Amino acid sequence: MLPSFARLHIAMRLPVDDATGVQTDEDAKRQRLARLRTGPSLIPQDPRARELRDQRSQLVPQQPATMQPLIDHFVTKWFLSQWKVEELATRHWLLHRKYEIPAVFDPGFPESSLACDILCLNAQTKTAAIVVCTLHTPRNFMNALGEVLRHGYYYRLGHSTSIVDMVGIIALDREPRMHEQNLATQSGVQCWWPKRSIAECLGEALPDAVADKENVPQDP
């Protein structure tokens, strides 16, 4: 059913030109178009299309400005706390936060630096670990996996003579699903969450405190 003419009627007043004091048709057209663009649509909306649009908006990841404080609180803070508990500094590991990977020219990659959440370096074994922190959702996990691989490749281009081994780690607020862990392992990436040892992700032996805790028999 077509909308009535009364609903389509728009009250118009021709504006007055500031220079001549004469009302112009061109200004009237612009004013009419502006009202049509900002006014409510007269075309009936399909409820199914609206529901699909709402579902799609829920799948879009949060903006970094909104999500970053949550990542810092639920992931980064726990990673740094676990780092101190395991005393990885005594094993020649150095930790750098917000490390900027220098730009290296390579076809297909932009000539700009990359910001890495955490970089762990072992001067003795010449091992570098790229850590990307995120909250666990299926999309965030896949984005983090791609980011770890991209950062690792980009870092290796500029430090190929100073590193022997490269480790990629996705730091999460909770344990990922088994198929996600398998996917990361196949890509050479480790997954860390608050109940897992960082040393294990780095290929180090478990610290005594963590090993003793894991050996304690659990209540049935």
Is the same domain home to 19 and 39? yes
Neighbouring C-beta atoms of residue 219, cutoff 10 Å? 3
How far apart, in whole angstroms, are the C-alpha atoms of residue 152 and residue 101?
Answer: 10
Residues 140 and 159 in one domain: yes
Q: Which whole number is the average pLDDT over 98-126?
A: 79
Distance of alpha carbon 87 from alpha carbon 82, whole angstroms? 8
Give the C-alpha separation, 90 to 84, whole Å.
10
Q: What is the pLDDT of residue 54?
A: 59
Residue 191 has pLDDT above 60, yes or no: yes
Query: Tell me: the pLDDT tens digits for 61-92?
Result: 445 567 889 999 999 999 999 999 999 999 99
Q: What is the mean pLDDT of the chain?
A: 78
In a domain, 33, yes or no: yes
pLDDT score, position 2: 55
Indicate if 123 and 143 belong to the same structural domain. Answer: yes
Most confidently predicted of 12-21, 43-52, 187-196: 187-196
The CATH number that applies at residue 165 is 3.40.1350
**pLDDT tens for each residue of 19-36:** 555 556 777 777 766 665
Question: In terms of domains, do 189 and 89 share one?
Answer: yes
Q: How many domains does the chain fold into?
A: 2
Domain extent at residue 106: 64-215
User: In this model, does residue 44 exceed pLDDT 50?
Assistant: yes
Considering the domain boundaries, does residue 220 fall inside one? no
Confidence at residue 159, expressed as pLDDT on a 0 to 100 scale = 83
My answer on whether 124 and 211 are in the same domain is yes
Strand partners, 100: 115
- For the full predicted model, state whether its pTM sits above 0.95: no
The string of pLDDT tens digits covering residues 122-180 is 989 999 999 999 999 999 999 999 999 989 988 888 887 888 999 999 999 999 999 99
Say whether pLDDT at 115 is over 90: no
The pLDDT of residue 58 is: 52
What are the tokens at 152? 């690792």
Residue carrying structure tokens 């000539």: 111
Which DSSP letter does residue 121 get? E
77 belongs to a structural domain: yes
Q: Does 138 lie in the same domain as 70? A: yes
Same-domain status, 12 and 72: no
